Amino acid sequence: MSAETNPNRSAFLARNIWSGVLFGIGLAAFMDETIFHQLLRWHHFYDKSTTDIGLISDGLFHAFSWFATIGGLFLFADLRRKKALCLMRWWGGMLLGAGGFQLYDGTIQHKLMQIHQIRYVENVFLYDLVWNIIALFMIIVGGALIIRAGRKQRERAVSHDPS
Amino acid sequence: MTHLNQSDASFAAEIFPQLVLAIPFVFVLVLYGIAAMASGRKHTQWPVYRTVCWVLGVLLAILSVAGPLADRAHSDFSAHMISHLFLGMLAPLLMALGYPVTLMLRSLSVPLARRVSKVLRSRISQILTNPIFASFLNIGGLWLVYTTDLYSLMHESILLHLIVHFHVFLAGYLFTVSIVYFDPIPHRIPFISRAIVLVAALAGHGILSKYIYANPPAGVPAAQAELGSMIMYYGGDAVDILLIFLFCLQWYRSGVNWKWQELKHRNHA
């Protein structure tokens, strides 16, 4: 990082993760909408087997992800302005958010609440498998990045400690 | 004679309600223009972009209640949805960006302006501009129109038609100004609370859109309902980006932070 950093940087550690998580959720939802709904047309706008709770969950997540995309970026700008940005943490949060949303979408929303399937084909199980493995992979990498950022932080704190 | 009767009937059924709905908008358009010019002469010049936003907003509102789009909205559900997106979402947002209350306070004489600001500080104004109340008026009103017989009834009764359309605009405007603060608003609510209400209201709008897809209002063919539902869903999203962007921009400029860290420290102390 640059030499000029906020002296209270440690107060903003959690916010780096939150900013990433929010943007990650928003990005995953945005890609879901543009790639799978609009471009590929695999996802359907409405599936006749959608449960009521599925409709509510879909509506809430859609609205929240829209807000999170923009809000997450403004948080990012705020961290930069305060010179409190920690990119490794931010990327970790982003992968965690994107993976978390994709896992929720792929298991609870698609399967349990039946809002729609990934693609309307016979072997949809394979699609589900790939979908959720990618989600888990993002969660693991995101978590690892955050843990690594924390460890680096502690090491630096020890080496800077005058005692 | 029959010809005359027919045109009388069409006047009563179509032109009259369109006129009643459009005249207030024409009135505020003229009033705003006069106020902007007069106060520009008295004080500094009134910003041009505010005037542009106001004019665009009012024109969109007029377009959605009178003329070809309003005519088509009677028989075509997609046209109805487009006109409602304009009337209930985009026009209110553009008009709020015109800072009408600020302009009014600037243009009125001091005693009159004091009286207006007293009204703004009143209990009624506090309730009306409460985001939760405004969201219920706005989104709740929409649920009422599309999930009950109100939708088909308003095409039969002129009075209901007028009430529903004025309500859609006024509730949309109140909702907009209760979430994003442009004009002076005495009863302020923290960003995080408004953000939660905003997300809940957007969700209510999205859920209703998809509900209409599967459950068309009485008298609307399924294919029209499906298209209309998607217009409502994605059109709503398009206006929401603007609303969310302006909301976050105000948060960014205010320099206010989520006080989670400070709160944590205070709780530990």
Please state which of the ranges A55-64, A116-125, B193-202 shows the lowest mean pLDDT: A116-125
B14: number of Cβ within 10 Å: 15
Instruction: Give yes or no for A112 touching B (CB within 8 A).
Output: no
Nearest CA of chain B to the CA of A77: how many Å? Answer: 8
Interchain contact, A77 vs B252, CB within 8 Å: yes
Spatial CB neighbours of B192, under 8 Å, sequence gap ≥ 6: B258
DSSP letter, residue A11: G
Interchain contact, B214 vs A48, CB within 8 Å: yes
Which of B206, B241, B252 is closest, CB to CB, to A59?
Answer: B206
For position B260, what pLDDT does the model report? 45
Determine the residue type at B123: R
Contact between A100 and A139 under an 8 Å Cβ cutoff? The reply is: yes
For position A162, what pLDDT does the model report? 58
Contact between A146 and A93 under an 8 Å Cβ cutoff? The reply is: yes
What confidence tens digit (pLDDT) does each residue in B258-268 have?
Answer: 444 444 555 55
For position B9, what pLDDT does the model report? 63
d(CA A76, CA A78): 5
Question: For residue A53, what is the nearest residue in chain B, using CA coordinates?
Answer: B207
Q: Is the pLDDT of residue B124 over 70?
A: yes
Largest CA distance in chain B: 87
Please state which of the ranges A49-53, B39-43, B66-70, B115-119 shows the lowest mean pLDDT: A49-53
Q: Considering only residues 181 to 210 of chain B, which have any Cβ-Cβ distance to chain A shorter than 8 Å?
A: 195, 198-200, 202-207, 210
Q: What is the pTM of this model?
A: 0.88
Instruction: Give yes or no for A80 touching B (CB within 8 A).
Output: no
Determine the residue type at B262: E
Contact between B97 and B57 under an 8 Å Cβ cutoff? The reply is: yes
- A62 closest CA partner among A95, A104, A90, A92: A104
Please state which of the ranges A50-64, A102-116, B1-15 shows the lowest mean pLDDT: B1-15
Confidence bin at B37 (pLDDT 50/70/90): very high
For position A3, what pLDDT does the model report? 45
Question: In the predicted model, what is the mean pLDDT of residues B76-96?
Answer: 96
Question: In the predicted model, what is the mean pLDDT of residues B126-135?
Answer: 95
Q: Structural domain boundaries of chain A?
A: 12-153
Question: In the predicted model, what is the mean pLDDT of residues B82-105?
Answer: 96
Interface predicted TM-score of the whole assembly (ipTM), two decimals:
0.85
Confidence bin at B180 (pLDDT 50/70/90): very high
Collect all residues of chain B within an 8 Å Cβ-Cβ radius of residue A66: 202, 237, 240-241, 244
Which of A11, A48, A66 is closest, CB to CB, to B237?
Answer: A66
Spatial CB neighbours of A140, under 8 Å, sequence gap ≥ 6: A99
Q: How many residues does chain B have?
A: 269
Question: In the predicted model, what is the mean pLDDT of residues A126-132?
Answer: 87
Interchain contact, A74 vs B214, CB within 8 Å: no
Question: For residue B194, what is the nearest residue in chain A, using CA coordinates?
Answer: A67
Q: Structural domain boundaries of chain B?
A: 2-258
For position B268, what pLDDT does the model report? 52
For position A155, what pLDDT does the model report? 84
Q: Is the dihedral of CA B126, B131, B133, B137 positive or negative?
A: positive
Residue-wise DSSP of B161-184: HHHHHHHHHHHHHHHHHHHS--S-
d(CA B194, CA B154): 32
Spatial CB neighbours of A149, under 8 Å, sequence gap ≥ 6: A86, A88, A89, A92
Q: What is the CA radius of gyration of chain A?
A: 19
Whole-number average pLDDT of chain B: 89
Question: For residue B262, what is the nearest residue in chain A, using CA coordinates?
Answer: A11
**Percentage of the residues of chain B whose pLDDT score is greater than 70:** 90
For position B56, what pLDDT does the model report? 98
Interchain contact, A60 vs B195, CB within 8 Å: no
Confidence bin at A93 (pLDDT 50/70/90): very high
d(CA B99, CA A122): 56
Question: In the predicted model, what is the mean pLDDT of residues B129-152?
Answer: 94
Collect all residues of chain B within an 8 Å Cβ-Cβ radius of residue A15: 258, 260-261
Instruction: Give yes or no for A125 touching B (CB within 8 A).
Output: no
Spatial CB neighbours of B216, under 8 Å, sequence gap ≥ 6: B77, B222, B224, B225
For position B211, what pLDDT does the model report? 93
For position B256, what pLDDT does the model report? 56
Instruction: Give yes or no for B257 touching A (CB within 8 A).
Output: yes
